[in-house]
Amino acid sequence: MDKFKYLENDFKEIEVDGKTIKAYRIQALQDFENLGTKGNSSHGILVKKGELGGYVKKGALAQNGSCWVDEDSVVAPSTNCVCVFDDAFVSCSTVVGDFLVRENAKLAYAKILSDKGNFSEFSGNSLVGNETESVGSLKASGDVNVSKCKISGSVEILGNSQLQNCVIKGKGLGDRLTINLNSDNYLNKFINDQTITESVILDNSKYHKKRKSNLFNTIRYM
């Protein structure tokens, strides 16, 4: 049995790469719990039968799993495939272009634009939001938490990386900027209030040092 339906008379038209995409309001057909929002709690967000969700292009949200798009979100992929599935959750966000949101990934108060040949993917337990904006190709996986960041270009964020109030400037599709913080040292997982233009890789096995450039205000662990 389907868990939601599309409301044919309630839709938005979104422009992506010169094409118009119709995104329809969804409505839950049964009660279910979004497992991806459990976190450290034993309960996730409960979606009730009859509850309105967001605006979604037809076929973009999976009918199986516990994935959901809430009423304040727009999901408008440029491709004709399922792009939000498993136990993913999209809340108060706009996600447009070519992208996947899967596993337990969460987008909350985010704006994601992956047009003009770019592709974004959110997986694992990643949480991207709190006024984060991304234009380009962003990949977030693992236990990353990205908050209040401005991201452009081709960027991949991995491991236990925690970023807040950062400007992250990737390059072209063939030269991806990587951020991977995997240290057991709690303090070393965080980068705050920085402009990042170089790869940041930190793990338990390597001695690390911080280098800061006055010209670009960059931070690099090596």
pLDDT in tens, 101-158: 999 999 999 999 999 889 999 999 999 999 999 999 999 999 999 999 999 999 999 9
One-letter amino acid of 166: C
The C-alpha atoms of residue 61 and residue 26 are separated, in whole angstroms, by: 10
Q: Would you kindly state where each structural domain of the chain is located, as residue ranges?
A: 1-110, 126-222
Judge contact between 110 and 96, C-beta under 8 A. no
Q: Which of 5-19, 53-67, 138-152, 186-200 has the lowest mean pLDDT?
A: 186-200
218 contact partners, CB below 8 Å, separation of at least 6: 194, 195, 196, 197, 198, 212
Using the Cα atoms of residue 73, residue 76, residue 82 and residue 83 in order, give the sign of their dihedral.
negative
Would you place residue 184 in the very low, low, confident or very high pLDDT band (cuts 50, 70, 90)?
Answer: low
Question: pTM for this one?
Answer: 0.88
Predicted confidence (pLDDT) at residue 30 exceeds the cutoff of 90 = yes
Would you place residue 173 in the very low, low, confident or very high pLDDT band (cuts 50, 70, 90)?
Answer: low
Residue count (the chain): 222
| Token reading at 32 | 């279910």
Sort 73 into a burial class: Cβ within 10 Å, 0-12 / 13-18 / 19+.
buried
